Amino acid sequence: MMNKIKQILLLLCALGIIASIPMFLARRSTIEADMPALSSEEIIANKEDYQRQVAEQEAQERARRVAKARAANYACQEDSDCIIVDKDPCGCLIGPKGVVAINASRSLEFTQSLGNVMAKACPEGAPSTEKECSPSARAVCRNKTCKIIY
């Protein structure tokens, strides 16, 4: 009989503990969160700032790609890699600023990078014979960059 009483007391203790668990787990007060509320103007301003940052990052990435492509246009290993091309539709008719030395293998990309140049009136007369346009001008590779020497 003593054994049964012991078992009943243990059972009652276990039931008491199980019944008291919800009391310990229940919160008597709410959790307070102090979050600032944003006005619609602030939300719009934040969205505009974000869009501006994204646009700036995209512009920087485009600029990096363009700079890399331009650097490739002028890169060389030896003199035979370089040629003199017109960077203006009028070429030497406008003087030395109308020509440039580039890597021969990049001439198509260079021409495309100039874009669709609309027809323009070129000055009349003979082409310039000074500096880059002189008969002795030639494209060479100096410090791994195409240059015109004269």
What pLDDT, in 10s, does the model give residues 85-107?
Answer: 988 888 888 878 888 999 999 88
| pTM of full prediction above 0.75 | no
Predicted pLDDT at 120: 67
CA–CA distance, 31 with 23 (Å, rounded to integer): 17
Residue whose structure tokens are 């002028």: 74
pLDDT in tens, 55-65: 999 999 999 98
Question: How many Å is the Cα radius of gyration of the chain?
Answer: 39
Distance of CA 7 to the CA centre of its chain: 75
pLDDT band at 27 (very low <50, low <70, confident <90, very high): low
